[in-house]
Amino acid sequence: MLQLHNLIIHNLIHMAKLSHVFILHCWSMDSLSHLALLAQSKNIFTQFQPLHSDIQLNDDFLNHNILKLGVFLDINCAKSGTVLDMASAKRSFSHRYHWLIYDRSMNFSELESHFKEAQIFVDADVTYVTNDPITRNFLLYDVYNKGRQLGGQLNITADREISCNKTNCRVERYLSNLYTRSALQHRKSFTGLTMRATAVVTALPLNVSKKEIFDFMNSKYRIQLDTYGRLGYQARQPLRDMLDCKFKYIFRDRWSDGNATGGMIGDLILDKADLAIAPFIYSFDRALFLQPITKFSVFREICMFRNPRSVSAGLSATEFLQPFSGGVWLTFALILLLAGCLLWVTFILERRKQWKPSLLTSCLLSFGAGCIQGAWLTPRSMGGRMAFFALMVTSFLMYNYYTSIVVSKLLGQPIKSNIRTLQQLADSNLDVGIEPAIYTRIYVETSEEPDVRDLYRKKVLASKRSPDSIWIPTEAGVLSVRDQEGFVYITGVATGYEFVRKHFLAHQICELNEIPLRDASHTHTVLAKRSPYAELLKLSELRMLETGVHFKHERSWMETKLHCYQHNHTVAVGLEYAAPLFIILLGAIILCVGILGLEVIWHRHCTLH
C-alpha cells in the first residue's frame, strides 16, 4: 500500500498539479493514517469517504466550490459501481475533476462496462491505474469519450509506466505520445463524428426544403436578412473543417422566447444541441445557463437622420456676425467712427475755401474703407494720406480674418442636430422608421428603459401612420433617410451601414446624425454552462481569430464604420445661411427709401416756406 500511496501523491503533485483530493476507499485505518500523514507533508488537503456496503452516499457528496478536485477511487470496493453511476449522472467526469481509478485486478471488461454508457466526454480527466503482473509497476491509462451522442466510442489509451518504492515514484517509460501534448490537443480531431448545431432562420419559413435553407445560408444575397445567422453559419464552416467532423443542423425561427427559454437557447440548455451557430448578446439572465466562449462581432443599433435643411432651420440674423466676438465688432466700429471724425477734421483744414464734406460723409468714407470699397475722396496732405492708408491696412486684415473664418466654417464639419438623446428624439416632431429585425423589434417593444418606452409610445403607438410606414425594410429606410431630410431610421450598423455606403454620396455621409438606441456591445459565441466542448471550441475559435479567418468573414458581412470625405464636393450655401443676408439687405432698402421720403418731404417743406 505504501507504493500506492506514493503513486497517489505523485499523480496529484506532478501530473495533475492539484492540492485537494477526495479519497474513496475501503481500506484499514492504518493505511489511511499513513496516506494522511504523507499528504499533509506535501501540503495536500485530503478528505476520506469509506465505500463499505452499508454506507449510504448523498447525491451531492462530490460537489465542490474549488477550481478542480482530485478524486481517488478504489474500483475494487463494494460501492465503487454506485459512485461511478452517480458521477455519470451528475456529469462529474468533466474538467472540474481529476479522477484516479485504481484496479488491482486489471479487469478492463469491468472498466468498459462502467464507462461504455457513461456520460464521459472529450474534457474528461480520468486516469485508470492497474499493476503490471510481471514488473509490479503501475500502468496508467487515459480514459475518455469524445461524445456518445455524437457517435463516439470509449477510448482507453496506455499512457506511462511508473515504478514506486516506499519513498518516491519515477516514470519508467512512456507507452504512447500522450505526454508530448495536452489532452485536448490529442482529442481535437472529431473524425467520423457528427455535432449537433442549432441555427436561426427568420427570413424563410422552416417548412421549406433543407436545400433552400442551406442555399440561403450560404449566399450573400440581401445581407440585411438574417445577417448574424448567416454570418455565424459561414464563419462556422472553417471550425467544422478544423474539427474534421460533420454538423447536424437544427433550424429555429428565433434566438429565444425570453432571455433563457425557447429557440436556440432552449436547445443549448436542454442539451439538444452541442453548439449554437448564430451569436448571442450576453446578459445576466442568460449567464445563469450559458457561458461566453469568444467575442464574435460588434453589435450596435442606432437612430440615423440628416439635418432638416429649411429656411427656418437655424435662421438667425447673427450668422454673419459669428466670426468675431462682440468686443471685436465694437472695437472696429469705434475705430471707423474715430477715423471718420479725423477725416472730417482733415478735410476742414485742407479745404478752407472749397467745398468740404460733412461729418456724415466723412464717416461714410471711413465705413466704405472698412468694407474694402475704397473712397472717392481722399486727403491731400501727407499726414492725412498716411492715416487713411493705416485705416485701409487695418480693414484689409480684418477682411481677411473674416473671410477665412467664414470659408473654414462652410468647408468644416456639417452642423449636427441638437437632438442628441433618445428622449429628445421622442419629444421631437421628426418621423421615425424602424428596421423590422427581430432583435430590434423585441427591444423597442419590450425594453424597460424609460426613453425607449417613451419613444415607442410616441412614435409608434401614437403615430397616425400605418405600421407599414413605420416598420420599413432596411434598404428602403436608408433611402428615406437620404431623400427625406429629418426622417429618422432605427437600424443596426451591421445592416444599415452597408446600404449607406451603397446609396449615399460621400459628403452626405458627413451630414448623418447618429443616436445610440442602446449601449454598444459585442455578440458572443455561447455554450451551455457545463458544456464539455467549451474549452476545445474556445481554443479553435481563438485560433481562427489569431489567423484572421473569422475577421475575414466578419468584414465581408459587416460595415462597422462609415468614412466621411467632406472636401470632395462643391459647398452649396443654402437659404438657411443666405437668408439673413437678404433680410438685412431688404431692411436696409426699406430704411433708405424711408429716409429718402423724409428728405423729399423736408425739402418741399423748406421750399414752401
For the stretch 422-465, pLDDT in tens is: 999 999 888 999 998 888 888 898 888 899 999 999 998 888 88
221-230 average pLDDT score? 85
pTM of the shown model: 0.74
Last residue of a domain, one of 128, 153, 183: 183
Q: Which pLDDT does position 312 carry in this prediction?
A: 41
- CA-to-CA distance for 508 and 414, rounded, in angstroms? 10
Q: Is residue 540 part of a domain?
A: no
Q: What is the per-residue pLDDT across 228-269, written as a single tens digit (0 to 9) for each?
A: 899 999 999 999 999 999 999 999 988 888 777 888 999 999
181-201 average pLDDT score? 91
Q: Is residue 329 part of a domain?
A: yes
As beta bridge partners, residue 357 has none
114-140 average pLDDT score? 90
User: How far is the CA of 594 from the CAs of 140, 178, 372, 386, 601, in angstroms?
Assistant: 112, 104, 27, 37, 11
Q: Is residue 342 part of a domain?
A: yes
Q: What is the per-residue pLDDT across 2-61, written as a single tens digit (0 to 9) for each?
A: 888 999 999 999 999 999 999 998 888 888 888 899 889 889 999 998 887 767 778 788
Q: Is residue 451 part of a domain?
A: no
Q: What is the per-residue pLDDT across 57-76, written as a single tens digit (0 to 9) for each?
A: 787 888 888 899 999 999 88
Q: Exposed (0-12), middle (13-18) or buried (19+): which is 48, by Cβ within 10 Å?
A: middle
Q: Is residue 202 part of a domain?
A: no
Q: Is residue 556 part of a domain?
A: no
| Domains held by the chain: number | 3
384-404 average pLDDT score? 84
**Percent of the chain predicted with pLDDT > 70:** 94
Q: Is residue 215 part of a domain?
A: no
Last residue of a domain, one of 386, 411, 436: 411
Residue 140, domain extent: 1-183
Q: What is the per-residue pLDDT across 508-546, written as a single tens digit (0 to 9) for each?
A: 888 888 999 988 888 999 999 889 999 999 999 999 999
Q: Is residue 269 part of a domain?
A: no
Nearest to 476 by CA among 433, 515, 514: 433
Nearest to 456 by CA among 410, 422, 482, 491: 422
Q: What is the per-residue pLDDT across 70-112, written as a single tens digit (0 to 9) for each?
A: 999 998 888 888 899 899 988 899 999 999 999 887 778 888 8
CATH code, domain carrying 334 = 1.10.287
CATH code, domain carrying 110 = 3.40.50.2300
Last residue of a domain, one of 411, 437, 453: 411
- CA-to-CA distance for 576 and 315, rounded, in angstroms? 6
